[in-house]
Homo-oligomer: A and B are copies of this chain.
Amino acid sequence: MQETKRDEIVRSAFSTFYQKGFLATPVDAVLADTGISKRTLYKYFRTKEELVEAAVTYYRHAALASIADEIERRADDPRGRILAMFDIKSEAIAAGDFSGCFAINARLEYDGKEPGIEAACDGFFEDLETVITGLCAEGGAADPAALARQIVVLLEGAIVYGRFRRDPTVALAAREAARALLDRDFKATHSPNEA
């Protein structure tokens, strides 16, 4: 199925909001970036917030697919794949144009104001925890969900804090911490690692 006009708008709006924030970005900026008219935008979305919600849902699926893809390319055991997530973020921070986690950003700007947007962000968080829980189970952790939660805190912490410190080594420090937790919880048998 080819991309519809609506999809095109959402994808473009996502990158505009990602770079410039939500409240600080007028709808006109989205229009300018997409080359679309205001009339068309409001044909597909009743309000700006509805567009933001769609952008978060787009991020939920696109970012998770991209992460799954990338960590599979970088490592072939669950341990290496979890650690690869931190490498990816470290590299993004080093690249200089990193704007953090779209869901965290949206959640913060609309906190307590837009239930639909909050729910979309929650969906992303749940999917992320599910993916990491799966990897932890695969690695033989006794309590995969509990370990996954610790990994997620480290990952999101590295994203937010590393971004604001503008320091890629923050994500590497988080990676080391994650490694210590994996060493503690994963079954002793892990193939040669490191990257």
Contact = CB atoms under 8 A, between A and B. Distances in A.
Interface of A: 21, 23-24, 99-100, 104-105, 107-109, 111, 113, 121-122, 125, 146, 149-150, 152-158, 160-162, 164-165, 170, 173-174, 176-177, 180-181, 184
Most chain B beta carbons < 10 A, residue from A24, A113, A122: A24
Given A99-B111, A154-B177, 14 more contacts: A21-B109, A21-B111, A23-B24, A104-B164, A108-B108, A108-B109, A109-B109, A149-B173, A153-B162, A153-B173, A157-B158, A157-B161, A160-B160, A177-B181
Contacts of A24: 23, 109, 113
Nearest to A150: B177
Nearest to A165: B125
Given A21-B109, A109-B109, A177-B181, A161 B156 contact: yes
B161 A174 contact: no
A183 to B, nearest CB: 9
